[in-house]
Amino acid sequence: MTSTRLIQLSSSSYRDYLRTCLEDGGKFLGLYACRTGITCLVEGGSGSISALSCDTPDKKAPSIVDLAFNANWDEREAHDLYGIEFDGHQPLRPLVNHDSKLDTWTVRLEGEEPYQVAVGPIHAGIIESGHFRFHVVGDRILHLDPRLFYKHRGLEMAAESKHFKEAISYVGRACMACSVSNTLSYALACEDILGLQATNELSRTRTLLLELERIWNHLNDIGAVCAGVGMAAGNAIFGYLVEQVRRICEQVTGHRFMARSIQVGKSEIEVDGSTVEQVRTKLGEIRKLFESSWRDLVFNSTFQDRLTGVGIISQENAKLYGVVGPAGRASGLSRDNRSRDKSLLYRDFEVSMLKDPSGDVKSRFDQRELELNQAFDIVSALLEGDIASATCEVRRGPRTPDEQDCIDSDNSDTGRIGVGLVEGPRGSTLCAVELDGQIIKRVHLRSASFNNWQALAKCTIGNLLPDFPLINKSFELCYACVDR
Amino acid sequence: MIILLNNLRKIRKSENLMRPRKVRSLAVRHCDGGSCNGCEHELSLLSSPCYDFQRFGLSVVASPRHADVLVVTGSITVAMVDAIRRAYGAMPEPRKVVALGACALGDGVLGQDDRIIGRLDDILPVDMRIEGCPPTPEQIINGLTKLLEQA
Please say if the pLDDT value at position B15 is more than 90.
Answer: no
Q: What is the pLDDT of residue B144?
A: 93
Interface contact B80-A121, CB threshold 8 A: yes
Into which CATH architecture does domain B24-150 fall? Answer: 3-Layer(aba) Sandwich (3.40)
Domain contains A147: no
A363 shares a domain with A249: yes
- What does each C-alpha distance from A472 to A127, A458, A461, A465 come to in angstroms? 11, 12, 13, 11
User: Quick check: A252 and A279 in contact, CB under 8 A?
Assistant: yes
DSSP lists the bridge partners of residue A271 as A387
Domain contains A397: yes
Interface contact A154-B112, CB threshold 8 A: yes
CATH of the domain at A53: 3.30.460.80
Interface contact A295-B112, CB threshold 8 A: no
Which among A77, A97, A126 is the top mutation candidate for probing chain B, defined by the most B β-carbons within 10 Å of its own β-carbon?
Answer: A126
Q: What is the pLDDT of residue A294?
A: 95
A259 part of contact set with chain B, CB < 8 Å: yes
Q: Distance (Å) from the C-alpha of residue B148 to the closest C-alpha of chain A?
A: 20
Sign of the four-CA dihedral A235, A236, A241, A247: positive
User: 3-state class of A453 per DSSP?
Assistant: helix
A158 part of contact set with chain B, CB < 8 Å: yes
- Size of the A and B interface in Cβ pairs below 8 Å: 145
Nearest by CB to B7, from A176, A237, A483: name it: A237
A465 part of contact set with chain B, CB < 8 Å: no
User: Quick check: B34 and B126 in contact, CB under 8 A?
Assistant: no
| Per-residue model confidence as pLDDT tens digits over A96-146 | 999 778 888 888 888 888 999 999 899 988 999 999 999 999 999 999 999
**In whole angstroms, what is the distance from residue A89 CA to residue A334 CA?**
30
Nearest by CB to B110, from A158, A234, A259: name it: A158
| Per-residue model confidence as pLDDT tens digits over B45-101 | 999 999 999 989 999 999 999 999 999 999 999 999 999 999 999 999 999 999 999
Nearest by CB to A240, from B48, B112, B116: name it: B48
Please say if the pLDDT value at position A147 is more than 80.
Answer: yes
List CB contacts of B39: < 8 A, sequence separation 6 or more: B32, B73, B74, B100, B101, B103, B134, B135
Domain contains A144: no
A305 part of contact set with chain B, CB < 8 Å: no
**Confidence band (pLDDT; 50, 70, 90) for B18?**
confident
Answer with the one of A47, A62, A87 that is the final residue of a domain.
A87
User: Quick check: A429 and A187 in contact, CB under 8 A?
Assistant: no
Q: Distance (Å) from the C-alpha of residue A199 to the closest C-alpha of chain B?
A: 31
User: 3-state class of B2 per DSSP?
Assistant: helix
Q: Distance (Å) from the C-alpha of residue A122 to the closest C-alpha of chain B?
A: 6
What is the arithmetic mean of pLDDT over A195-216? 92
Please say if the pLDDT value at position A80 is more than 50.
Answer: yes
- What does each C-alpha distance from A84 to A137, A454, B71, B134 come to in angstroms? 37, 21, 38, 37
Nearest by CB to B37, from A157, A234, A480: name it: A480
Q: What is the pLDDT of residue A2?
A: 54
Structurally, chain A folds into a number of domains equal to 2
Sign of the four-CA dihedral A436, A441, A445, A451: negative
CATH of the domain at A351: 1.10.645.10
Interface contact A237-B37, CB threshold 8 A: no
A359 shares a domain with A241: yes
Please say if the pLDDT value at position B32 is more than 60.
Answer: yes
Sign of the four-CA dihedral A241, A247, A251, A254: positive
Answer with the one of A87, A104, A138 that is the final residue of a domain.
A87
Which chain A residues have a beta carbon less than 8 Å from that of B83? 121-122, 129, 150
Residue A41's nearest CA partner among A74, A85, A88 is A74
**In whole angstroms, what is the distance from residue A23 CA to residue A26 CA?**
7
The one-character DSSP state at A90 is S
Nearest by CB to A128, from B40, B50, B63: name it: B40
A197 shares a domain with A316: yes
H/E segment holding residue B129: strand B128-130
A80 shares a domain with A193: no
User: Quick check: A156 and A443 in contact, CB under 8 A?
Assistant: yes
**In whole angstroms, what is the distance from residue A164 CA to residue A154 CA?**
17
A94 part of contact set with chain B, CB < 8 Å: no
Domain contains A281: yes
What is the arithmetic mean of pLDDT over A70-89? 93
A237 part of contact set with chain B, CB < 8 Å: yes
User: Quick check: A248 and A215 in contact, CB under 8 A?
Assistant: no
Q: What is the pLDDT of residue A413?
A: 46
The pTM assigned to this predicted structure is: 0.91
User: 3-state class of A152 per DSSP?
Assistant: coil
In percent, the amount of chain B with pLDDT more than 70 equals 99
Domain residues for the domain of A58 are 5-87
Q: What is chain A's mean pLDDT, rounded?
A: 89
- What does each C-alpha distance from A480 to A94, A240, A279, A385, A449 come to in angstroms? 18, 24, 30, 36, 9
Interface contact B114-A153, CB threshold 8 A: no
Q: What is the pLDDT of residue A396?
A: 60
**In whole angstroms, what is the distance from residue A104 CA to residue A94 CA?**
7
Fill in the amino acid letter for A483: D
**In whole angstroms, what is the distance from residue A326 CA to residue A317 CA?**
15
So where are chain B's domains? Answer: 24-150
Which chain B residues have a beta carbon less than 8 Å from that of A478? 37
Interface contact B50-A239, CB threshold 8 A: yes
Residue A389's nearest CA partner among A185, A202, A248 is A202
Domain contains A102: no
| Per-residue model confidence as pLDDT tens digits over A274-327 | 999 999 999 999 999 999 999 999 999 999 999 999 999 999 999 999 899 999
H/E segment holding residue B26: strand B26-32
A397 shares a domain with A267: yes
A289 part of contact set with chain B, CB < 8 Å: yes
User: Quick check: B32 and B24 in contact, CB under 8 A?
Assistant: no
Burial class (CB in 10 A: 0-12, 13-18, 19+), A201: middle
Domain contains A118: no
A184 part of contact set with chain B, CB < 8 Å: no
User: Measured in Å, how far apart are chain A's first and last C-alpha atoms?
Assistant: 27
The one-character DSSP state at A420 is E
| Per-residue model confidence as pLDDT tens digits over A390-421 | 888 887 654 444 334 333 333 444 558 899 99
Interface contact A153-B77, CB threshold 8 A: yes
Residue A422's nearest CA partner among A260, A211, A164, A173 is A211
User: 3-state class of A211 per DSSP?
Assistant: helix
